[in-house]
């Protein structure tokens, strides 16, 4: 039985692992899997590997990283509870941080990525947090490369309310990975952080033993360009003609106590659909989450109880008429 995990972990720095860069035949799409379902024997495994959202923000001198996956856990795993839910077995999740690539914040940002990356072909992880699940679907404590051996990580894994602010996600749960690391151990003076995440499947054809199948960066991007999911950010512009799919934290925010706001990082409260725009959103769409977020670690709301139908609170109300 999988229960939520929360620890303070101290680890030694080590060399970065090589990532498998080859694409896979199946076309996958992250960001809640808003695409035609894959109707085959691997569909259940496929949706468990899908990454829904990546969040990066600052709280009280800590960098908080939240990676969510499994967009259909509320439908397929209807009986899942906070104590009984399991992650997929033998999967590797990675959260990557580049702290050497320069970003120009003094130019227009039409792609809403937080700035213009000066040399996108040189994007590469300086710090990697790796979470691997065993044959029973239990995630092991996070391992990290590129950090001091004295660095401590606060972490929690498990079933949580889906924080994505959109009507269709009301009442939905996700599989969450939450990490909290001292900001001083991560950031460098006047240097932005470029952040992205991946899910990786076991592969006998890859030197690392794993093959990348999903990518998560800024919201509402990889779902509309699935090839992003199997390539590293350094290949996005030259190979796919799209801006590198990474979250960017502005260095001004790294040295202050004010909260970051999308597209410079991503807060749980950020209404990204309202900022970016979505053609299918109703005029009375929600602009805040269906459950209040916590003020302290792990910040996400508790999961919804298993139920066969959408909660009555999630039924979209008709817009109120304006009073003359």
CB 274 within 8 A of CB 282: no
CB 217 within 8 A of CB 198: no
Q: Please, which pLDDT band fits residue 315 given cuts at 50, 70 and 90?
A: low
pLDDT of residue 159: 94
Tell me which of 15-29, 49-63, 143-157 is least confident. Answer: 15-29
Tell me which of 120-134, 153-167, 224-238, 307-321 is least confident. Answer: 307-321
State the average pLDDT for the chain.
Answer: 80
pLDDT of residue 33: 55
Tell me which of 7-21, 37-51, 86-100, 288-302 is least confident. Answer: 7-21
CB 303 within 8 A of CB 296: no
Cα 49 from Cα 67, distance rounded (Å): 12
**From residue 128, how far is each of 144, 145, 184, 249, 300 by CA, in Å?**
5, 5, 16, 16, 22
pLDDT of residue 284: 75
Alpha helical stretches, state H, 127-256: 183-186, 236-240, 251-254
286 half-sphere exposure, CB direction, 13 A CA radius: 19
CB 167 within 8 A of CB 291: no
Tell me which of 61-65, 174-178, 201-205, 283-287 is least confident. Answer: 283-287
Higher model confidence: residue 115 or residue 179?
Answer: 179
307 half-sphere exposure, CB direction, 13 A CA radius: 12
CB 89 within 8 A of CB 133: yes
Residue 5 has pLDDT above 90, yes or no: no
pLDDT of residue 318: 44
- Indicate the SS3 state at residue 223: helix
pLDDT digits (tens, 9 = 90+) for 38-53: 444 566 777 788 899 9
Residue 253 has pLDDT above 90, yes or no: no
Q: Please, which pLDDT band fits residue 151 given cuts at 50, 70 and 90?
A: very high
pLDDT of residue 48: 85
Cα-Cα-Cα-Cα dihedral sign, residues 149, 151, 157, 163: negative
Higher model confidence: residue 238 or residue 26?
Answer: 238
pLDDT of residue 215: 94
Rounded to an integer, the average pLDDT of 275-282 is 69
pLDDT of residue 321: 43
Higher model confidence: residue 221 or residue 177?
Answer: 177
- Indicate the SS3 state at residue 32: coil
DSSP result, 240-308: HSS----EEE-HHHHTSSSPPBTTBSB-TT--HHHHH--TT--TT--SS-SSPPPSSTT-SPPPPPP-S
Q: Please, which pLDDT band fits residue 225 given cuts at 50, 70 and 90?
A: confident
Residue 34 has pLDDT above 90, yes or no: no
Rounded to an integer, the average pLDDT of 229-244 is 91
What ranges do the domains of the chain cover? Answer: 5-314
Alpha helical stretches, state H, the chain: 43-49, 73-76, 183-186, 236-240, 251-254, 272-276
Q: Please, which pLDDT band fits residue 93 given cuts at 50, 70 and 90?
A: very high
pLDDT of residue 317: 46
Rounded to an integer, the average pLDDT of 261-275 is 88
Q: Report the share of the chain in percent with pLDDT over 90.
A: 45
Top-confidence range, 37-41, 161-165, 202-206: 161-165
CA proximity to 35, closest of 226, 201, 167: 226
């Amino acid at each position: 039985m999988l229960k939520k995990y929360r620890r303070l972990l101290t680890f030694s720095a080590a060399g970065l692992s090589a990532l498998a860069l080859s694409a896979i035949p199946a076309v996958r799409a992250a960001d809640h899997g808003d695409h035609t379902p894959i109707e085959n024997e691997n569909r259940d495994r496929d949706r468990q590997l899908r990454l829904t959202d990546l969040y990066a923000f600052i709280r009280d001198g800590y960098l908080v990283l939240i990676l969510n996956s499994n967009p259909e856990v509320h439908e397929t795993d209807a009986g899942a509870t906070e104590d009984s839910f399991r992650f997929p077995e033998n999967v590797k999740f990675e959260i990557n941080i580049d702290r050497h690539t320069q970003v120009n914040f003094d130019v227009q940002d039409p792609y809403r990525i937080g700035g213009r990356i000066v040399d996108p072909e040189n994007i590469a992880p300086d710090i990697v947090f790796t979470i691997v699940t065993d044959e029973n679907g239990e995630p092991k404590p996070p391992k990290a490369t590129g950090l001091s051996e004295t660095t401590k990580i606060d972490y929690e894994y498990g079933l949580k309310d889906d924080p994505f602010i959109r009507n269709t996600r009301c009442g939905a749960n996700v599989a969450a990975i939450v990490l909290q690391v001292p900001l001083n151990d991560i950031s460098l003076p006047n240097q932005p952080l470029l952040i992205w995440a991946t899910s990786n499947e076991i592969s006998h054809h890859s030197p690392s033993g794993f093959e990348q199948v999903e990518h998560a960066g800024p919201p509402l991007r990889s779902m509309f360009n699935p090839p992003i999911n199997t390539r590293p950010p350094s290949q996005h512009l030259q190979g796919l003609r799209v801006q590198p799919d990474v979250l960017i934290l502005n260095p001004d925010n790294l040295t202050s106590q004010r909260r970051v706001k999308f597209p410079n990082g991503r807060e749980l409260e950020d209404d990204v659909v309202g900022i970016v725009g979505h053609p299918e959103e109703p005029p009375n769409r929600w602009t805040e989450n269906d459950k209040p977020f916590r003020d302290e670690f792990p910040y996400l709301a508790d999961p919804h109880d298993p139920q066969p139908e959408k909660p009555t609170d999630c039924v979209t109300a008709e817009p109120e008429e304006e009073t003359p």
